[in-house]
Amino acid sequence: MPEFLTLNHQKFYYNDISSRAYLKQNLDEYSLATLNFCAGWLNEESNFIIHTSGSTGTPKPIKLTRAQMQASAQMTGQALQLSTGDSSFICLNTAYIAGVMMLVRGFELGLQMTIVPPSSNPLQHWTTLPLFDFTALVPLQIQAILQQDDGKAWLDAAKAVIVGGAPVSYALEQQIKVLASPVYATYGMTETVTHIALRRISGVNNQDHYQILPRVEIRQDARQCLEIKSPTTLHRWITTNDLVELTATDQFRWLGRFDRVINSGGVKVQAEKVEKALAQVLHQQQVVCRFFVAGLPHDRLGEQVVAILELSNLQDSTQAQLLTALKETLSNYEVPKAIHCIAQFAETPTAKIDRLKTLRQISTR
């Protein structure tokens, strides 16, 4: 079992962490907060207040038990076949659930942890890259790594890479598919103590469905939304707003959010379906930007489907080409009635798109 972790290129031995000897050092705020959590874990604290990431609303504190977090770590370790002594690279913000659970996995699975502050390119901390068996990244980070000359080789040396925190774009998924190492998109939330299902997106074995972790049960409610029960939910069924198709008793295909259904002229349009089609045509037109699809009030239709692109402007001819291409795969009600460009999207504290605030920018223009 490891005796220390590395944080900001400095070794901290577990005995010194548990005794809080690090408090005598002049540490930056991020290092101090990270070590404070580690000290609580090593000292067998039974409950933790963790903050949600803000993906579907304002970040909020939630209380999780040690047993829930331990179960989640063990389930991930079993699914990814992680072993004691494997190395783990932690570059997610440890103030939020995803980063916290990387720490817990390190302790519970006996991984040798290397921790750096979160940044868009986590490999910037080295000139000679050390290799790791396991890491978790957000899409922005894996995209930055793939753009480095040695980034692909670094990723391919890993035993497992998980990607979460935001959807993986169509263009990025095409880049990830060429990787040989197992790279997985994750499905989960703070209430399930991060992911309860994985979808392989790399190599010839890439999948279009999620495979649930060991000890997880799933079903659908009357709306066709996913319900989950596992040790991480304290063996209680929790109901999500995620519309899914159950492809097997232990597999599902994610269709979109129930609360992102746009009612346009009495026809229900799933925003994520339109986004998937838009991602492909943007890729074909070599338009690189963040975007989302939403419904805006309309006198006749009730709501109309619109696309919002993070661009200063888009030529009329390009807009016309995008809409023409979308009409080949989407119905008339699904094709966006307008494309709005905004130079910079509003964001949550974890750098995710804040759709509501961004839409308000459009309505006030």
262-314 confidence digits (pLDDT tens): 999 889 999 999 999 999 999 999 999 999 999 998 888 899 999 999 999 99
Long-range contacts (CB closer than 8 Å, 24 or more residues apart) made by 147-152: 148/121, 148/123, 151/123, 152/178, 152/179
Amino acid at 72: S
Using the predicted structure, report yes or no on whether residue 2 has a pLDDT greater than 90: yes
Q: What's the pLDDT at 125?
A: 78
Better-scored residue on pLDDT, 245 or 361: 245
| Residue type for position 30 | Y
Q: What is the pLDDT of residues 230-257, one digit of tens each?
A: 999 999 999 999 999 999 999 999 999 9
Same CATH topology for 46-256 and 265-363?
no
What DSSP string runs through 315-364? Answer: -HHHHHHHHHHHTTTS-TTTS-SEEEE-SS--B-TTS-B-HHHHHHHHHT
* Spans of all domains in the chain: 46-256, 265-363
CATH for the stretch 46-256: 3.40.50.12780
CATH number of 265-363: 3.30.300.30
Please give the mean pLDDT across all residues of the chain.
Answer: 93
Name the percent of the chain lying above pLDDT 70.
97
Q: Of 54, 99, 134, 78, which Cα lies nearest the Cα of 346?
A: 54
pLDDT computed for residue 116 by the predictor: 96
> How buried is 131 (Cβ within 10 angstroms: 0-12 exposed, 13-18 middle, 19+ buried)?
exposed
CA dist 292 → 13, 303, 304 (Å):
45, 16, 14
**Secondary structure class of 87 (helix, strand, coil):** strand
Whether pLDDT at 227 is above 90 = yes
Q: How many alpha carbons fall within 13 Å on the CB side of residue 343?
A: 2
CA distance 295 to 278: 15
- Is the confidence at residue 57, as pLDDT, over 80? no
